[in-house]
Structure 1
Amino acid sequence: MTADKPLRADAQRKRDALLATAREVFDAGGFFDLRFDDFARLAGVGTGTLYRHFPTREALAEAVYHGEIAALCDRVRQLRDELPASEALATFLRGMVEHIAAHEGLARTLSTLMTTRAAALAEGSRALEQAVTDLVAAAVRDGTVRDDVGAGAVMMALHGISAGHDRPGWRAEADDVITLLLDGLRRPL
Protein backbone atom coordinates (compact mmCIF):
# COMPACT_ATOMS: atom_id res chain seq x y z
CA MET A 1 0.00 0.00 0.00
CA THR A 2 1.37 3.39 -0.95
CA ALA A 3 0.35 6.71 0.47
CA ASP A 4 -0.22 8.05 -3.06
CA LYS A 5 -2.72 5.43 -4.21
CA PRO A 6 -6.22 5.73 -2.75
CA LEU A 7 -7.71 2.60 -1.26
CA ARG A 8 -10.68 0.83 -2.79
CA ALA A 9 -13.87 1.44 -0.78
CA ASP A 10 -13.86 -2.07 0.74
CA ALA A 11 -10.17 -1.82 1.65
CA GLN A 12 -10.78 1.58 3.27
CA ARG A 13 -13.69 0.15 5.29
CA LYS A 14 -11.48 -2.69 6.53
CA ARG A 15 -8.65 -0.30 7.42
CA ASP A 16 -11.13 1.94 9.25
CA ALA A 17 -12.50 -1.09 11.13
CA LEU A 18 -8.99 -2.00 12.26
CA LEU A 19 -8.34 1.57 13.44
CA ALA A 20 -11.68 1.73 15.28
CA THR A 21 -10.95 -1.58 16.99
CA ALA A 22 -7.47 -0.41 17.99
CA ARG A 23 -8.96 2.81 19.45
CA GLU A 24 -11.42 0.77 21.50
CA VAL A 25 -8.66 -1.50 22.76
CA PHE A 26 -6.49 1.53 23.58
CA ASP A 27 -9.29 3.13 25.55
CA ALA A 28 -9.85 -0.11 27.45
CA GLY A 29 -6.12 -0.18 28.23
CA GLY A 30 -5.46 -3.58 26.70
CA PHE A 31 -3.38 -2.81 23.61
CA PHE A 32 -0.39 -4.86 24.75
CA ASP A 33 -2.53 -7.62 26.28
CA LEU A 34 -3.85 -8.87 22.94
CA ARG A 35 -2.00 -10.93 20.41
CA PHE A 36 -1.54 -8.76 17.33
CA ASP A 37 -3.64 -11.15 15.19
CA ASP A 38 -6.57 -10.63 17.61
CA PHE A 39 -7.05 -7.13 16.21
CA ALA A 40 -8.08 -8.68 12.89
CA ARG A 41 -10.61 -10.98 14.56
CA LEU A 42 -12.09 -8.15 16.65
CA ALA A 43 -12.37 -5.91 13.58
CA GLY A 44 -14.01 -8.68 11.55
CA VAL A 45 -11.25 -8.85 8.94
CA GLY A 46 -8.66 -11.43 7.98
CA THR A 47 -5.14 -11.44 9.35
CA GLY A 48 -3.80 -10.82 5.85
CA THR A 49 -5.77 -7.57 5.79
CA LEU A 50 -4.32 -6.59 9.16
CA TYR A 51 -0.75 -7.19 8.04
CA ARG A 52 -1.31 -5.55 4.65
CA HIS A 53 -2.43 -2.31 6.30
CA PHE A 54 -0.39 -2.50 9.50
CA PRO A 55 2.60 -4.86 9.36
CA THR A 56 3.37 -4.34 13.08
CA ARG A 57 1.62 -3.46 16.31
CA GLU A 58 3.63 -0.23 16.34
CA ALA A 59 2.40 0.69 12.84
CA LEU A 60 -1.18 0.26 14.03
CA ALA A 61 -0.55 2.38 17.13
CA GLU A 62 1.10 5.09 15.03
CA ALA A 63 -1.86 5.16 12.65
CA VAL A 64 -4.28 5.61 15.55
CA TYR A 65 -2.06 8.36 16.96
CA HIS A 66 -1.86 10.19 13.64
CA GLY A 67 -5.64 9.93 13.26
CA GLU A 68 -6.14 11.44 16.71
CA ILE A 69 -3.70 14.26 15.91
CA ALA A 70 -5.48 14.97 12.62
CA ALA A 71 -8.82 15.15 14.46
CA LEU A 72 -7.36 17.53 17.06
CA CYS A 73 -5.86 19.76 14.37
CA ASP A 74 -9.22 19.79 12.56
CA ARG A 75 -10.85 20.79 15.85
CA VAL A 76 -8.42 23.71 16.19
CA ARG A 77 -9.30 24.93 12.69
CA GLN A 78 -13.02 24.58 13.40
CA LEU A 79 -12.75 26.54 16.65
CA ARG A 80 -10.67 29.26 14.97
CA ASP A 81 -13.37 29.64 12.31
CA GLU A 82 -16.29 29.71 14.74
CA LEU A 83 -15.14 31.55 17.87
CA PRO A 84 -13.20 34.64 18.89
CA ALA A 85 -9.51 33.75 19.23
CA SER A 86 -9.21 33.71 23.03
CA GLU A 87 -12.43 31.71 23.35
CA ALA A 88 -11.21 29.24 20.72
CA LEU A 89 -7.98 28.78 22.67
CA ALA A 90 -9.80 28.26 25.97
CA THR A 91 -12.29 25.85 24.41
CA PHE A 92 -9.51 23.84 22.80
CA LEU A 93 -7.46 23.61 26.01
CA ARG A 94 -10.46 22.53 28.07
CA GLY A 95 -11.34 20.06 25.33
CA MET A 96 -7.83 18.64 25.51
CA VAL A 97 -8.43 17.71 29.15
CA GLU A 98 -11.59 15.89 28.02
CA HIS A 99 -9.63 14.19 25.25
CA ILE A 100 -6.84 13.08 27.58
CA ALA A 101 -9.37 11.75 30.09
CA ALA A 102 -11.25 9.83 27.40
CA HIS A 103 -8.11 8.35 25.86
CA GLU A 104 -5.81 7.56 28.78
CA GLY A 105 -5.20 4.05 27.42
CA LEU A 106 -3.88 5.65 24.24
CA ALA A 107 -1.65 7.93 26.32
CA ARG A 108 -0.18 4.94 28.18
CA THR A 109 0.44 3.06 24.94
CA LEU A 110 2.05 6.09 23.32
CA SER A 111 4.33 6.69 26.29
CA THR A 112 5.51 3.09 25.91
CA LEU A 113 6.04 3.53 22.17
CA MET A 114 7.84 6.85 22.62
CA THR A 115 10.83 5.01 24.04
CA THR A 116 11.42 3.25 20.72
CA ARG A 117 9.37 5.15 18.13
CA ALA A 118 9.83 8.81 19.09
CA ALA A 119 10.86 9.88 15.58
CA ALA A 120 7.76 8.30 14.04
CA LEU A 121 5.49 10.16 16.48
CA ALA A 122 7.33 13.49 16.32
CA GLU A 123 5.58 14.59 13.12
CA GLY A 124 2.22 14.44 14.88
CA SER A 125 3.55 16.41 17.83
CA ARG A 126 4.82 19.10 15.46
CA ALA A 127 1.45 19.28 13.68
CA LEU A 128 -0.42 19.71 16.96
CA GLU A 129 2.08 22.28 18.20
CA GLN A 130 1.65 24.24 14.96
CA ALA A 131 -2.12 24.20 15.40
CA VAL A 132 -1.75 25.46 18.97
CA THR A 133 0.77 28.07 17.77
CA ASP A 134 -1.83 29.31 15.29
CA LEU A 135 -4.45 29.55 18.06
CA VAL A 136 -2.13 31.45 20.38
CA ALA A 137 -0.99 33.77 17.56
CA ALA A 138 -4.59 34.61 16.68
CA ALA A 139 -5.32 35.48 20.31
CA VAL A 140 -2.15 37.61 20.47
CA ARG A 141 -3.22 39.45 17.30
CA ASP A 142 -6.63 40.27 18.74
CA GLY A 143 -4.99 41.58 21.90
CA THR A 144 -6.48 39.13 24.39
CA VAL A 145 -3.34 37.04 25.00
CA ARG A 146 0.07 38.36 25.98
CA ASP A 147 2.77 38.18 23.38
CA ASP A 148 5.65 37.09 25.60
CA VAL A 149 4.49 33.49 26.15
CA GLY A 150 4.60 31.10 23.22
CA ALA A 151 2.77 27.98 22.23
CA GLY A 152 5.69 25.89 23.49
CA ALA A 153 4.74 26.77 27.06
CA VAL A 154 1.13 25.82 26.33
CA MET A 155 2.26 22.49 24.89
CA MET A 156 4.48 21.87 27.91
CA ALA A 157 1.49 22.42 30.19
CA LEU A 158 -0.57 19.96 28.12
CA HIS A 159 2.23 17.39 28.28
CA GLY A 160 2.40 17.83 32.04
CA ILE A 161 -1.34 17.38 32.36
CA SER A 162 -1.18 14.24 30.25
CA ALA A 163 1.77 12.82 32.18
CA GLY A 164 -0.06 13.20 35.49
CA HIS A 165 -3.21 11.32 34.42
CA ASP A 166 -2.63 8.58 37.02
CA ARG A 167 -2.76 10.99 39.97
CA PRO A 168 -5.74 10.79 42.32
CA GLY A 169 -7.95 13.79 41.62
CA TRP A 170 -6.28 14.24 38.24
CA ARG A 171 -9.34 15.65 36.53
CA ALA A 172 -9.91 18.50 38.98
CA GLU A 173 -6.21 19.32 39.03
CA ALA A 174 -6.05 19.26 35.21
CA ASP A 175 -8.96 21.71 35.03
CA ASP A 176 -7.17 23.91 37.58
CA VAL A 177 -3.95 23.86 35.53
CA ILE A 178 -5.90 24.96 32.44
CA THR A 179 -7.47 27.78 34.45
CA LEU A 180 -4.02 28.86 35.67
CA LEU A 181 -2.65 28.66 32.14
CA LEU A 182 -5.47 30.73 30.69
CA ASP A 183 -5.17 33.30 33.49
CA GLY A 184 -1.41 33.48 32.90
CA LEU A 185 -1.85 33.94 29.16
CA ARG A 186 -4.39 36.74 29.54
CA ARG A 187 -2.99 40.08 28.51
CA PRO A 188 -2.74 42.40 31.54
CA LEU A 189 -4.96 45.45 31.44
Structure 2
Amino acid sequence: MPHIDLGNDQPGIRSLFYYRPETAQPMSELAEILLRGPSALERWERELIATHVSGLNECRFCTTTHAAFTAAQLPADLDLDVIRADLAAAPISDKLKALLDIAAAVQRDGRQVTPELVAAARTAGATDLEIHDTVLIAAAFCMYNRYVDGLATTMPDDLGLLAERAKVLVAEGYLPTVAAARAHQAQAARA
Protein backbone atom coordinates (compact mmCIF):
# COMPACT_ATOMS: atom_id res chain seq x y z
CA MET A 1 0.00 0.00 0.00
CA PRO A 2 1.43 3.40 -0.95
CA HIS A 3 2.62 5.65 1.85
CA ILE A 4 0.28 8.44 0.71
CA ASP A 5 -3.20 8.48 -0.81
CA LEU A 6 -2.51 8.74 -4.54
CA GLY A 7 -6.19 8.89 -5.49
CA ASN A 8 -5.90 6.28 -8.25
CA ASP A 9 -5.39 2.56 -8.73
CA GLN A 10 -2.51 2.71 -11.21
CA PRO A 11 0.61 0.67 -10.43
CA GLY A 12 4.16 1.92 -9.92
CA ILE A 13 5.29 5.19 -11.39
CA ARG A 14 2.01 5.56 -13.29
CA SER A 15 0.24 6.07 -9.95
CA LEU A 16 2.70 8.84 -9.08
CA PHE A 17 2.28 10.43 -12.49
CA TYR A 18 -1.51 10.37 -12.09
CA TYR A 19 -1.10 11.93 -8.65
CA ARG A 20 1.18 14.72 -9.90
CA PRO A 21 0.99 15.26 -13.68
CA GLU A 22 3.07 18.43 -13.33
CA THR A 23 6.13 16.38 -12.39
CA ALA A 24 5.15 13.54 -14.73
CA GLN A 25 5.65 15.80 -17.74
CA PRO A 26 9.38 16.48 -17.40
CA MET A 27 10.11 12.98 -16.08
CA SER A 28 8.31 11.37 -19.03
CA GLU A 29 9.98 13.73 -21.49
CA LEU A 30 13.37 12.73 -20.11
CA ALA A 31 12.53 9.03 -20.44
CA GLU A 32 11.26 9.61 -23.98
CA ILE A 33 14.47 11.37 -25.03
CA LEU A 34 16.82 8.92 -23.33
CA LEU A 35 15.07 5.67 -24.20
CA ARG A 36 13.36 6.42 -27.50
CA GLY A 37 15.00 9.51 -28.99
CA PRO A 38 17.62 9.52 -31.74
CA SER A 39 20.68 7.53 -30.68
CA ALA A 40 23.33 5.21 -32.02
CA LEU A 41 22.16 2.80 -29.32
CA GLU A 42 19.11 0.72 -30.15
CA ARG A 43 16.00 1.27 -28.06
CA TRP A 44 16.28 -2.21 -26.56
CA GLU A 45 19.87 -1.48 -25.53
CA ARG A 46 18.81 1.66 -23.69
CA GLU A 47 15.91 -0.17 -22.06
CA LEU A 48 18.36 -2.88 -21.00
CA ILE A 49 20.49 -0.23 -19.28
CA ALA A 50 17.36 0.99 -17.44
CA THR A 51 16.44 -2.60 -16.54
CA HIS A 52 19.95 -3.37 -15.32
CA VAL A 53 20.12 -0.31 -13.06
CA SER A 54 16.61 -0.96 -11.74
CA GLY A 55 17.60 -4.54 -10.95
CA LEU A 56 20.71 -3.40 -9.12
CA ASN A 57 18.51 -1.00 -7.14
CA GLU A 58 16.10 -3.87 -6.42
CA CYS A 59 13.18 -1.81 -7.69
CA ARG A 60 10.72 -4.57 -8.55
CA PHE A 61 8.28 -2.40 -10.50
CA CYS A 62 10.87 -0.70 -12.71
CA THR A 63 12.88 -3.89 -13.24
CA THR A 64 9.80 -5.85 -14.25
CA THR A 65 8.30 -3.18 -16.49
CA HIS A 66 11.52 -2.22 -18.24
CA ALA A 67 12.42 -5.89 -18.72
CA ALA A 68 9.08 -6.22 -20.54
CA PHE A 69 9.87 -3.08 -22.57
CA THR A 70 13.32 -4.47 -23.41
CA ALA A 71 11.95 -7.87 -24.40
CA ALA A 72 9.32 -6.28 -26.64
CA GLN A 73 12.07 -4.59 -28.66
CA LEU A 74 14.77 -7.28 -28.69
CA PRO A 75 15.96 -8.72 -31.97
CA ALA A 76 14.48 -12.18 -32.53
CA ASP A 77 17.83 -13.91 -31.99
CA LEU A 78 18.25 -12.57 -28.44
CA ASP A 79 16.69 -13.76 -25.19
CA LEU A 80 16.47 -11.31 -22.30
CA ASP A 81 16.66 -14.03 -19.64
CA VAL A 82 19.93 -15.30 -21.17
CA ILE A 83 21.34 -11.77 -21.29
CA ARG A 84 20.38 -10.95 -17.72
CA ALA A 85 21.56 -14.29 -16.33
CA ASP A 86 25.21 -13.60 -17.18
CA LEU A 87 26.07 -10.23 -18.70
CA ALA A 88 29.72 -11.17 -19.18
CA ALA A 89 28.79 -14.19 -21.33
CA ALA A 90 25.70 -12.63 -22.91
CA PRO A 91 25.49 -12.56 -26.71
CA ILE A 92 25.60 -8.75 -26.80
CA SER A 93 28.29 -6.41 -28.06
CA ASP A 94 31.38 -5.63 -26.03
CA LYS A 95 30.36 -1.99 -26.32
CA LEU A 96 27.02 -2.66 -24.60
CA LYS A 97 28.75 -4.73 -21.92
CA ALA A 98 31.14 -1.83 -21.25
CA LEU A 99 28.24 0.61 -21.09
CA LEU A 100 26.42 -1.68 -18.65
CA ASP A 101 29.57 -1.65 -16.50
CA ILE A 102 29.45 2.16 -16.51
CA ALA A 103 25.74 2.09 -15.63
CA ALA A 104 26.46 -0.25 -12.71
CA ALA A 105 29.16 2.13 -11.48
CA VAL A 106 26.73 5.05 -11.62
CA GLN A 107 24.20 3.00 -9.66
CA ARG A 108 26.72 2.43 -6.88
CA ASP A 109 28.01 6.03 -6.83
CA GLY A 110 28.61 8.34 -9.77
CA ARG A 111 32.19 8.80 -8.64
CA GLN A 112 32.73 5.09 -9.32
CA VAL A 113 32.78 5.82 -13.06
CA THR A 114 36.52 5.68 -13.59
CA PRO A 115 38.72 6.71 -16.50
CA GLU A 116 39.37 2.98 -16.97
CA LEU A 117 35.65 2.22 -17.42
CA VAL A 118 35.32 5.07 -19.91
CA ALA A 119 38.45 3.96 -21.76
CA ALA A 120 37.13 0.38 -21.95
CA ALA A 121 33.84 1.65 -23.41
CA ARG A 122 35.69 3.77 -25.97
CA THR A 123 37.94 0.85 -26.89
CA ALA A 124 34.80 -1.23 -27.44
CA GLY A 125 33.47 1.46 -29.80
CA ALA A 126 31.31 3.68 -27.57
CA THR A 127 31.10 7.34 -28.48
CA ASP A 128 31.16 10.18 -25.99
CA LEU A 129 27.42 10.69 -26.59
CA GLU A 130 26.70 7.02 -25.83
CA ILE A 131 28.77 7.23 -22.65
CA HIS A 132 26.97 10.44 -21.67
CA ASP A 133 23.55 8.94 -22.32
CA THR A 134 24.41 5.76 -20.41
CA VAL A 135 25.41 7.78 -17.36
CA LEU A 136 22.24 9.87 -17.62
CA ILE A 137 19.99 6.82 -18.09
CA ALA A 138 21.58 5.18 -15.05
CA ALA A 139 21.30 8.34 -12.94
CA ALA A 140 17.72 8.96 -14.04
CA PHE A 141 16.71 5.40 -13.22
CA CYS A 142 18.23 5.67 -9.78
CA MET A 143 15.87 8.63 -9.31
CA TYR A 144 12.86 6.86 -10.87
CA ASN A 145 13.54 3.73 -8.76
CA ARG A 146 13.78 5.70 -5.53
CA TYR A 147 10.64 7.65 -6.42
CA VAL A 148 8.66 4.44 -7.01
CA ASP A 149 9.98 2.63 -3.94
CA GLY A 150 10.16 5.69 -1.68
CA LEU A 151 6.39 6.08 -1.90
CA ALA A 152 5.75 2.30 -1.78
CA THR A 153 3.85 2.10 -5.07
CA THR A 154 2.18 -1.16 -6.01
CA MET A 155 2.79 -3.81 -8.62
CA PRO A 156 0.01 -4.73 -11.03
CA ASP A 157 -1.96 -7.79 -9.94
CA ASP A 158 -1.63 -9.31 -13.41
CA LEU A 159 1.98 -9.21 -14.61
CA GLY A 160 0.74 -10.36 -18.02
CA LEU A 161 -0.55 -6.83 -18.47
CA LEU A 162 3.05 -5.66 -18.68
CA ALA A 163 3.49 -7.38 -22.05
CA GLU A 164 0.43 -5.48 -23.31
CA ARG A 165 1.75 -2.24 -21.82
CA ALA A 166 5.07 -2.92 -23.55
CA LYS A 167 3.33 -3.12 -26.94
CA VAL A 168 1.69 0.25 -26.30
CA LEU A 169 4.97 1.77 -25.19
CA VAL A 170 6.81 0.52 -28.28
CA ALA A 171 4.11 2.02 -30.50
CA GLU A 172 3.39 5.27 -28.65
CA GLY A 173 6.25 6.04 -26.27
CA TYR A 174 6.27 7.45 -22.75
CA LEU A 175 4.37 10.69 -23.28
CA PRO A 176 0.78 9.33 -23.57
CA THR A 177 0.97 8.47 -19.86
CA VAL A 178 1.17 12.20 -19.11
CA ALA A 179 -1.97 12.88 -21.17
CA ALA A 180 -3.79 10.09 -19.32
CA ALA A 181 -2.59 11.48 -15.98
CA ARG A 182 -3.83 14.97 -16.86
CA ALA A 183 -7.20 13.56 -17.95
CA HIS A 184 -7.47 11.63 -14.65
CA GLN A 185 -6.65 14.77 -12.69
CA ALA A 186 -9.25 16.81 -14.60
CA GLN A 187 -11.89 14.12 -14.04
CA ALA A 188 -11.06 13.97 -10.32
CA ALA A 189 -11.37 17.76 -10.07
CA ARG A 190 -14.86 17.63 -11.61
CA ALA A 191 -16.01 14.87 -9.25
Fold match (TM-score > 0.5): no
Q: TM-score, normalised by structure 2?
A: 0.31
Higher relative contact order (CA 8 A, sep 6+): 2
